[in-house]
Amino acid sequence: MALLEVKNISKQYKNTKALSDVNFSVKEGEFVSIIGPSGAGKSTLLRCINRMVEANYGEIIFDGSHVLNLNKKDLRKLRAKIGMIFQHYNLVYRLSVVENTLHGRLGYKSTIEGIMGRYTEEEKKQAFDILEKLGLSEEVFKRCDELSGGQKQRVGIARALIQNPKMILCDEPIASLDPSSSKVIMDHLKNVSKEMGITCLVNLHQVDVAIKYSDRIIGVNSGKVVFDGSPEELNNEK
Ligand code: ADP
Ligand code: ADP
């Protein structure tokens, strides 16, 4: 069954048509990459799904709810089920790794000092467990501005996972990383999908990475879906 259905989505910024009549659906647990050149509309598309960007037209159904019709309260509930990972990590750099992780519980808008005091021992233990799985046990109490790019992105993954999300949206998660850190991040995302059963929708501009990691690939160009199929089918088209 589809966890996510995107139907006839269009988005117009002032003078730019970023998305035109985009349709696709994603099954529960699937690892789907969205590929396309810079400016294709990938980021806009991901952001329409959790309404960081408002689509002008169309319908999005996630886990049974009509996303574009939700009121503020229900939108908050929806966002709790959808984690998000960014190219530039969007961490609070003066806070520690575990504080940034726990931040995922509160949503992106809140900035708090002394965040640790607000959490139960159980929540802190969950954060430590997630960080251990991501290979960050040694970094737990370091400030995020002391970390390498690859480590920062692993904190981004931890912050998404602590939400217990049904789906994670990843907007160019490896575009700022070197090849070896990129591999570590993609391997972790693959585990998130295959071992934890969390659906991943990942924007990438590297076709080879998409082919290696995805169950399915959606190609976008000039705001339109130009390919939707398996990595094998994409290889045959090339
Ligand atoms: P991608 O993620 O594939 O690089 P984007 O979704 O960022 O593509 O951008 C798609 C198009 O929409 C581009 O032409 C971009 O310049 C434009 N665009 C993106 N965000 C905005 C915005 N906030 N205001 C106006 N135009 C935008
Ligand atoms: P960008 O290239 O978009 O600035 P970054 O991931 O480098 O992406 O930064 C995201 C935000 O965090 C930016 O506002 C940036 O100024 C800030 N930032 C980045 N690195 C640090 C740091 N070491 N200490 C404090 N703030 C930082």
pLDDT in tens, 139-192: 999 999 999 999 999 999 999 999 999 999 999 999 999 999 999 999 999 999
Judge whether 163 and 172 are in contact, CB under 8 Å: no
User: Which pLDDT does position 105 carry in this prediction?
Assistant: 77
Ligand nearest to the CA of 152: 2
User: Which pLDDT does position 115 carry in this prediction?
Assistant: 60
pLDDT of 107 > 60? The answer is: no
The verdict on pTM exceeding 0.90 is no
| Per-residue confidence band for 109, with pLDDT thresholds at 50, 70 and 90 | very low
- C-alpha distances out from residue 149 to 34, 116, 154, Å: 22, 24, 9
Q: What is the ipTM of this complex?
A: 0.74
Q: Could you tell me the distance, in angstroms and rounded to a whole number, from the CA of residue 89 to the centre of ligand 2?
A: 8
Task: Answer whether 38 contacts ligand 1 (Cβ < 6 A).
Answer: yes
- Report the atom number in ligand 2 closest to the C-alpha of 144: 23
pLDDT tens sequence across 189-229: 999 999 999 999 999 999 999 999 999 999 999 999 999 99
CA angle 51, 151, 147 (to 5 degrees): 110
pLDDT of 114 > 60? The answer is: no
Task: Answer whether 209 contacts ligand 1 (Cβ < 6 A).
Answer: no
- C-alpha distances out from residue 119 to 101, 116, 159, Å: 12, 6, 14
Mean pLDDT value of segment 21-32: 97
| Per-residue confidence band for 116, with pLDDT thresholds at 50, 70 and 90 | low
Contacts of 132 (CB under 8 A, 6+ apart): none
User: Which pLDDT does position 104 carry in this prediction?
Assistant: 80
Task: Answer whether 234 contacts ligand 1 (Cβ < 6 A).
Answer: no
Mean pLDDT value of segment 48-52: 97
Task: Answer whether 76 contacts ligand 2 (Cβ < 6 A).
Answer: no
Side chain identity, residue 184? V
Task: List the beta strands (DSSP E) in 13-91.
Answer: 17-27, 31-35, 57-62, 65-66, 82-85
